[in-house]
Structure 1
Amino acid sequence: MTNLEMNANMLVDYLQKPTTDFTKEDIIRFIREKQIRMVDFMYPAADGRLKTLNFVINDATYLDTILTCGERVDGSSLFPFIEAGSSDLYVVPRFRTAFVDPFAEIPTLTMLCSFFNKDGEPLESAPEYTLHKACEAFRNVTGMEFEAMGELEYYVIAPETGLFPATDQRGYHESAPFAKFNDFRVKCMHYIAMAGGMIKYGHSEVGNFTRDGKIYEQNEIEFLPTRAEDAADQLLVAKWIIRNLASQYGYDITFAPKITVGKAGSGLHVHMRIMKEGKNQMLADGQLSETARKAIAGMMELAPSITAFGNINPTSYFRLVPHQEAPTNICWGDRNRSVLVRVPLGWTGKSDMSVIANPLEPKNAYDTTQKQTVEMRSPDGSANIYQLMAGLAVACRHGFEMEEALKVAEETYVNVNIHKEEHKEKLNRLRQLPDSCAASAACLQEQRAAFEKHNVFSSKAIDGIIQYLQSFNDASLRQELENNPQGMAELVERYFYCG
């Protein structure tokens, strides 16, 4: 179902069509009639950050040329797996990603691009194309669609005023004036929505502290589930917007997984649902469906190697430590925030809560089954978002290819506090997530066949990820820095602007 009313994206509102239906003719018409003067191409490199190529619109013919043919870029400067001797790549805009740059003084239309090789074929190892292949393989194997959305957590850092100090590590859903950056977050949300991001909500998060005259406040912006390819695009653009707006405000921003010991780290939780003919397949008769449990089983099986896409610098593994809210045990459960895969509270009750809260309202017939998701809680802001989403799509597909998926789901289900002494035996039977980039690389090497199956991840991409993770040489780093605050501070500074 497509609803064009009240859409924040200026192109959707003006063209009166969903982004999936945008054509080159639509883009040109919008540029003409809205007097756009510049076009920007944006695309992510291996560091996960968006790169920009600016075009001034010389004339109508040139505009048509860049929209049709794209442009050349130096692939060796973007990706380590591309050699300088044969490095030219094409970047070609995806019209469905078009948005008006909210920061540009000169009216500018921005689009995300796909990479193509010298023969005009999609670049096999490009993260964006890897995600496309993962979603296609999921569809071919299951006959269903893989959808996702992210929870983007970040810290805002600014000078401390001393007024209305927040309660340390009690910032969850705090209101102003105790939460200092609600207005900033709301403006970020507005700009993200203008750029096509489908936002669910935003709020302040648990983490807050003061240090060296600065306040550190954790915030979160959560999205709505959509096609995984679009979900990844939206998260990438959102991070770019948050950083740019923070720069204008004079704030500092970090998506780093851990910035100090003893305070809440930032994750990038990913919710998933599986759709068929517009219907959510995660529930059956008010209970978690067999479809959902098979997908969860796949994530249980491949969880150790998913960290190779979702936790890709050494500070990631200072967040993934035992007995804290971030998970380390490979298990799943209902509404349990210590498990790796959580089944959030769903709208499966029989009562009409809206009518109870608002007695004048008539009984509604809203299909609440659409809201049920499952949540992977290990990833963080260091992740290569496209590769992470692709890895999750592979894992969920893998669950449908496993012979004993439902048995695996049953054996890894946990409905208790696993850290209590009486559940020690259950805890000891569970596998653990890797504790370093080096360990994640080893897990990916061991399980790489599942990711290379159906030609989703190229062998070159897997080799590159493994080499990158091994380069940190961090197998014993967590133990080495356990009682070394200065060393930990230096590590945090090195990876402060990750992702």
Structure 2
Amino acid sequence: MITEHLIMNANPIVVALQKPAAEFTKADIMDYIVQNQIRMVNFMYPGGDGKLKTLNFVINDLAYLDEILTCGERVDGSSLFSFIQADSSDLYVVPRFRTAFLDPFSEIPTISMLCSFFDKDGRPLESSPEHTLHKAAEAFREVTGMEFQAMGELEYYVISDDEDVFPAQDQRGYHESAPYAKANEFRTRCMQYIAQAGGQIKYGHSEVGNFSLDGKNYEQNEIEFLPVNVEQAAEQLLIAKWVIRNLGYQLGYNVTFAPKITTGKAGSGLHIHMRMMKDGQNQMLTNGVLSEAARKMIAGMMVLAPSITAFGNKNPTSYFRLVPNQEAPTSVCWGDRNRSVLVRVPLGWAVEADMCKSANPLELMADYNTSIKQTVEMRSPDGSADIYQLLAGLCVACRYGFEIDGALKLAEKTYVNMNIHAAENADRLNNLAQLPDSCVASADYLNRQRKAYEEYGVFSPAMIDGIVEQLRAFDDKNLRKTIEDYPEEIQKLVTRYFHCG
């Protein structure tokens, strides 16, 4: 029987099997492979640099297919993660069947799946990206009784030859249409491929940033997702970045998720929206206003915001985006519909007006529960983020708000209903905590606040140590002050970290 959620599903494996991806079994995958003459299987998993790695298998016969799907394969963990030593480097990778998708770029019919890491004893690797996030989600559920959901706003620049026709207005590309926006067709093809791979997309559009430099056209775009279980949210962001890069390469475009692309132009963020669900109901609102639970969640982020940058802002160029008096946040505060704050409460359809009927007089009055749409948005992360670490860190911070004393008072104290960067609000700004201004400072905050992340065994001490060491190695404590007035030096830095995350 075809259910409502399977009608028009973009994933051809879901359509063929007539079941949601979450219910895929090994038998389902094998049956699909046989029925559709699939010749190869790819195992995919993130390394310590946050990028997807790939292991290719030719399907020799059904027995071999059954073997790799059941047993997984052995990989060299020390080549993937800095915290794994060469003398104990062997790890297992085992596919998660729910992530199966048809590779849109392979000429040979191929199914790809994301994998989980296991140690020599067959236990989930404590420091692996996906298991860390799983532990964070379970701890959140244990403490709050709710499910943590998230989705990302994935911003990136598409770089192509400058044709000098229908030029876009500099830094005015927000929601621009063709022909002034040149990468719209590329973006929609990316969206199609991401959806076919299981991504739950909300929408896509061109973003503010656009400019020409050295004969090249730089155009900023964004693909935004729908909120889903936080583990699924990480999977779809990881696959989306892989799709965008591969299609860009196929079509001759360069693509970057870098937080800073050049001086004086819009940087790219990776804003994360979050909500809490219980029995299928959104817990972010009570009688149309932000709930107590939501304000506790925000309070936790206010406390741990400085160390969250250790997961979401992973190279020195991140801190050239997080500068005062820009749209990217620097002060630890939150507010409604306010883009100068760190955590924004976006419009949530909390009004009782029937806007659909107002726009379409022939429609009957709608009875639609719009409270499901309310989220809160963390605005500091960018494309250098380790996606699993970032979402795990946010999950920890939101849980932490339920565990600290005085969370509601802290939320009230850090609430801002003004443009925090306006000159007349300088006194208010001076009373707010500030985000770190370098990787080194971010590492120091993580080291001071590490206990919160290590509670419930979510982040292993080895993982925290590895992140701190990685960030301190950039040695950028005074870098922003040193080169902020030297555009050519900033450009060298941008070039070095152009393909981050």
Instruction: Give TM-score scaled by structure 1 length.
Output: 0.99
1:379 offset after TM fit, Å?
A: 0.1
Write the mapping of 1:201-212 to structure 2, written as runs, cut at 5 A: 201-212=203-214
Equivalent of 2:92, from 90, 93, 114? Answer: 90
Equivalent position of 2:24 in the other structure: 22
Q: How big is the shift at 1:73?
A: 0.2
Alignment check: 8 A CA contact 1:333 1:414 kept:
yes
Please state whether the residue corresponding to 2:402 is helix, strand or coil: helix
Unaligned runs of 5+ in 1: none
Match of 2:56 among 54, 57, 66: 54
Pairing 1:8–2:26 present: no
Unaligned regions of 5+ residues in structure 2, if any? none
Distance 2:236 2:113 in 1: 12
Are residue 406 (structure 1) and residue 402 (structure 2) matched?
no
Structure 2: distance between partners of 1:64 and 1:442: 47
The residue number in structure 2 matching 1:493 is 495
Preserved contact between residue 2 and residue 18 of structure 1 (Cα < 8 Å):
no
Deviation string, structure 1 residues 2-36 (Cα, Å, up to 9, x no partner): 71110000111111111111100110111011111
Q: What is the identity, as a one-letter code, of the residue corresponding to 2:443?
A: A
Q: Partner amino acid for 1:82? A: I
Deviations 1:372-412 (CA, angstroms, capped at 9, x unpaired)? 00000000000000000000000000000011100000000
How big is the alpha-carbon RMSD for the aligned residues of Structure 1 and Structure 2?
0.8
Q: Alpha-carbon deviations, 1:397-430, whole Å to 9, x = none?
A: 0000011100000000000112223322211110
Secondary structure of 2:42's match?
Answer: strand
Partner of 2:125: 123
Q: Which of residues 260, 266, 269 is equivalent to 2:268?
A: 266
How far apart are the structure 2 equivalents of 1:103 and 1:89?
28
Q: Is the 8 A contact 1:147 1:227 kept in 2?
A: yes
1:259 deviates by 1.1
The within-5 A match list for 1:295-314 is 295-314=297-316
User: 1:320 — aligned with what?
Assistant: 322
Is the CA contact 2:263–2:491 (under 8 Å) kept in the aligned structure 1? no
Deviation string 1:145-197 (CA, Å, 9 cap, x unpaired) is: 00000000000000100100000000000000000000000000000000000
Give the aligned residue type for 2:157. Y
Instruction: Say which is worse superposed, 115-124 or 360-369, in terms of deviation.
Output: 360-369
CA distance in 2, matches of 1:347, 1:100: 36
Match for residue 374 of structure 1? 376
1:98-497, aligned counterparts within 5 Å?
98-497=100-499
Aligned residues: 499
Q: Is the 8 A contact 2:340 2:421 kept in 1?
A: no
Amino acid at match of 2:347: L
Answer with 156-165 or 424-433: which moved more: 424-433
- Equivalent-residue separation in structure 1 for 2:154 and 2:487 (angstroms): 27
- The alignment status of 1:73 with 2:64, answered yes or no, reads no
In the TM superposition, residue 121 of structure 1 has moved relative to its aligned partner by 0.3
Structure 2 residue matching 1:401: 3-state secondary structure = coil
Query: 1:257-305: per-residue Cα shift (whole Å, max 9, x none)?
Result: 0011110000000000000010000000000000100000000000000
**Aligned equivalents of 1:411, 1:311: Cα separation in 2:** 26
Q: Deviations over 1:80-103 (max 9, x none)?
A: 000111100000000000000001
Runs of 4+ in 1 over 6 A off after TM superposition: none
Q: 1:315 is aligned with what amino acid?
A: T
Q: SS at the partner of 2:117?
A: strand
Instruction: Tell me the TM-score normalized by structure 2.
Output: 0.99
